[in-house]
Amino acid sequence: MGSSAFRFDRYKLSFLACGVFLFLSSVTVPAQSEKPALQPKPSVLIASLPLEGSRDEGVRKVLASAMRFQLERIGTQTILFSTTDEEALVRDLLGEEEPDPRALAISLIEFVSGLNHDFLALAGYIKDGGEIQVSFYIADLQRGEILASASRRARIDFSLDEAMIGALQEMLPRAEGRIEEVARRKAAEAARLAEARQEEAGEVVAEPTQLPQELPVAEVEKEERFRPFEFSIGFSPFVPVGVANQVFSLSYAPFVYGSYRIPLSAGVLGLGVYTGLNVFDSEEAGIASYFHYVVPVGIDVRYTTAGASRLGLFARAGMGAAINVSDFSSLPAIAQEGLSRFLAYGSGGVGAMFAFSNSVGIAIDVMYETFVYFYQEESGGGIRTDWIMGFVPSIYLYTRL
């Protein structure tokens, strides 16, 4: 860091602009009639910066959200770093040096050390095509030292959040001792300030309560409100089995569902509706070739296990009707009269949900779907039934409101 003073003189105008912006966005000014109150939770400044190249807004949001979620779970308050030109800031901090994430962390610690924050959490990333290399650091701004670090390389897809959360869970335990120490100190300062204000007001000072020796993690988690509405849209293959496997090849089934979640003592019950479009590809000519597009509509019931873990297991079932919206125009008139466009529909299966946050997550399930269609082989004859059955493995994102 021997050249840091030179770099800060050289780029003092850009640093001043960024510093003023950050200062104004993170400091609150109390009303004149109020005295400043101490914040009992340790504050963490979260920064997600590109080590080289241009920033990727989607990646930046994923990294910031993952850091914020994990840090708030251990009892801190988080503040997002904000600057109008992240690439210029990184160039100013690193100068002519190679894009070294540790050097960026050290320079950023010096840059923000004058602000009223306790810790810094940094994600320095390099995007390389469809993959990303991320280096995480958590630093003590009061002491000016890095407490822990971790790095991870991952594909930019639905599993990116899980990979980043895994790296953070590897790193944060090495910094929790210092975070707890700062939390106890700030809680003690807040208690002393409250006591002094009571004395100034002439109030009777109550016996001070015992300060917690550990962060109230459970209480922090309870602050998250329950979100009753769940929605998802997804795309899955339909793997026919039994007789259907002899008639249809691998088919596809995009879908959408919405449900209302009811908390129970041992889990969460979801009641909603499900619809989609099953696209069947027939391997032979005949009546089966007129079951190309089928739209199921039905109720969706799912029961999810309760618990503080981000991973939840669930069982789900659905039933309703389906409509064959395929083109029947080339069928003989007698066949059109004998073949119903309406099918009975039912499904059931199990799966798992992994929550990235209280509002967004990813789900994996395997369903067994059944369609029953009705037809007459001859005019005036009896109604016959045939079955289309198959497995539907799915992976999809869900959101809760």
**pLDDT digits over 254-298, tens only?**
999 999 999 887 889 999 999 999 888 876 656 667 778 999 999
Same domain, yes or no: 393 and 269: yes
**Residue 190 and residue 167 in contact, taking contact as beta carbons nearer than 8 Å:** no
Supply the range of the domain harboring residue 384: 229-400
- Last residue of some domain: 113, 144, 179? 179
Task: Give the per-residue pLDDT at 336.
Answer: 54
Q: Which of 142, 144, 79 is nearest to 110 (CA)?
A: 144
Same domain, yes or no: 21 and 112: yes
Task: Give the per-residue pLDDT at 384.
Answer: 78
For the chain, the farthest-separated pair of C-alpha atoms sits apart, in whole angstroms, at: 97
Query: Residue 222 and residue 60: Cα distance in Å, rounded?
Result: 27
Task: Give the per-residue pLDDT at 34.
Answer: 44
DSSP helix, strand, coil percent of the chain (3-state; round to 5): 30, 40, 30
Q: How many domains does the chain have?
A: 2
Q: Which of 146, 141, 145 is nearest to 118 (CA)?
A: 141
Query: Residue 159 and residue 401: Cα distance in Å, rounded?
Result: 22
Instruction: Indicate the pTM of the whole model.
Output: 0.45
CATH number for 332: 2.40.160.20
Same domain, yes or no: 237 and 175: no
Task: Give the per-residue pLDDT at 99.
Answer: 78
> Any idea what DSSP says for residue 82?
-
Task: Give the per-residue pLDDT at 298.
Answer: 95
Task: Give the per-residue pLDDT at 224.
Answer: 58
- Last residue of some domain: 146, 162, 179? 179
Question: Consecutive sets of 10 residues in the chain, 401 residues long: mean pLDDT of each?
Answer: 42 45 41 48 90 80 88 88 79 79 89 85 88 92 90 85 88 91 87 83 54 45 70 91 83 92 88 92 68 92 81 94 82 60 92 90 94 72 80 93 89
Within-domain flag for 185: no
Tokens of 243: 């007789």
Tokens of 92: 């100013």
Task: Give the per-residue pLDDT at 332.
Answer: 57
Phi, psi (5° rounding) for residue 34? Answer: -110, 150
